[in-house]
Amino acid sequence: MPDESEPFPSDTMQRAALVKQKARSLGFDAVGIASAEASRYREHLRQWIDAGRSGEMAYLHERFEERVDPKVYLPGAMSVICVSMNYQVDDAFKAGVDDHADDHGSGGLIPSEDELRIARYARAIDYHTHIKPRLYAIADWLREKVPGTTTRCGVDTAPVMERELATRAGIGWVGKNTMLIHPRIGSFTFLGEVLTSLALPTDEAMPDRCGTCQRCIEACPTQCIEPYTIDASRCISYLTIERQSDFDKSTPGLSGWLFGCDVCQDVCPYNGKAPLATDEKLRPRLPAMVGRTEVLSWDEERYWSFTRHTPVRRVKLPQLQRNARHA
Ligand code: B12
Ligand code: SF4
Ligand code: SF4
């Protein structure tokens, strides 16, 4: 086991081992290293946006060149340290995916007419604030060990193709539902990365393990999944979180979701076997369901106290109530 406190070794394999040890010590469940080469899916992303599949998410094309090339985002970048953190929680879902494969992924939690669901990731502390300091800790440590090194960190909001990079770093594959899936941890994971000018040995990309499975495609309530791509403009996660404009008659139903959607992950066999999150801070603060009439009766004060420190705050009260009416 390499010793973190020792002077930084000149051997790149030992450096990579130390970097991984550092990331694990900060609570990341998987870590791998990719080269900072440009995306292989540049054209796919271009066509996806041009076809209107990104809906109102203007940020996806506003910084397109940075998004498809880490060297534009961080000039001189050589490697990308990719990390993931498991946020799986112990709901009735853990009773076994097979028992629930036909219930459209409610995960065993069948909501009543009045109950609305909140996606797992949004029930815990906002992952951006939880993960960023840990990425900065890796970056600061690297710059201290190798003076002159440059770094840039990202979690979700950075213009970086996080899932493609994570696949290249060998910490999972992109499944038919487009989620990054780790064979042991599953896909209820957050991704983050540290781009660096340091040249580190890269890991082997992970091959696709979806095989003939089609569960996510069959279960998606809005039928917006085609293998390995989704029409985000019809995805419930997009509709409930990203879409600013009002809904109209052509807006797909939200299948009881108030914020986000977990259906294509609940039915995935790799999540049925996944371990629970070990990080105490990722324990849910919010219930899995909340009453529709309750949400519709909220005033600003109740909204601010309910959404405190959680990702649900990304959506303002009028949008949440719009979701509740349409759900
Ligand atoms: C925009 C966005 C969304 C959009 C669009 C999602 C989508 N599938 O494209 C919406 C709002 C719908 C969304 C929803 C969700 N999101 Co989101 N989202 C993002 C964001 C900011 C950008 C993704 C993006 O560029 N999409 C455009 C598509 C075209 O690109 P892509 O998904 O990266 O796919 C590329 C690669 O996968 C590559 N590729 C690699 N291998 C292969 C193989 C084949 C065959 C093909 C064709 C392509 C391909 O090609 C694509 C490029 O064109 C990322 C963060 C980031 N910076 O990357 C988070 C991110 C992807 N989201 C995340 C999460 C948690 C979610 C939700 C689960 C939240 C929820 N519970 O409601 C859902 C899941 C819905 C789903 N099935 O994807 C996590 C995913 C973690 C993981 N384990 O995969 C991310 C990585 C944020 C994070 N840091 O943790 N999201
Ligand atoms: S998050 Fe929900 S609506 Fe979006 S692709 Fe997955 S199952 Fe379909
Ligand atoms: S449900 Fe099946 S097809 Fe969909 S991502 Fe999981 S393993 Fe792949």
Pick from 27-31, 103-107, 279-283 the range whose average pLDDT is largest.
27-31
pLDDT tens-digit series, residues 165-214: 999 999 999 999 999 999 999 999 999 999 999 999 999 999 999 999 99
pLDDT tens-digit series, residues 218-274: 999 999 999 999 999 999 999 999 999 999 999 999 999 999 999 999 999 999 989
Q: E strands, 52-168, where?
A: 79-86, 115-118, 151-154
Active site residue 156: yes
Give me the residue spans of the domains in the chain. Answer: 12-326
Pocket of ligand 1 (CB under 6 A): 41, 44-45, 48, 57, 60, 119, 121, 155-156, 158, 160-164, 167, 174, 177-180, 187, 189-191, 228-230, 232, 235, 237-238, 241-242, 260-262, 264
**Residue at 242: amino acid letter:** E
78-108 in b/e burial notation, b at 16+ Cβ within 10 A? bbbbbbbbbbbbebebeeebeebbeebbbbb
Is there an atom of ligand 3 within 6 Å of 274 CB? no
Is there an atom of ligand 3 within 6 Å of 45 CB? no
Of the pLDDT bands very low, low, confident and very high (cuts 50, 70, 90), residue 105 is very low
SS3 at position 196:
strand
pLDDT tens-digit series, residues 273-310: 899 998 888 999 999 999 999 999 999 999 999 999 99
pTM over 0.85: yes
Q: What is the mean pLDDT of residues 39-62?
A: 96
Task: Tell which one of 39, 40, 41 to mutate to probe ligand 1, the residue whose CB is within 8 A of the most ligand atoms.
Answer: 41
- Cβ 22 vs Cβ 207: under 8 Å: no
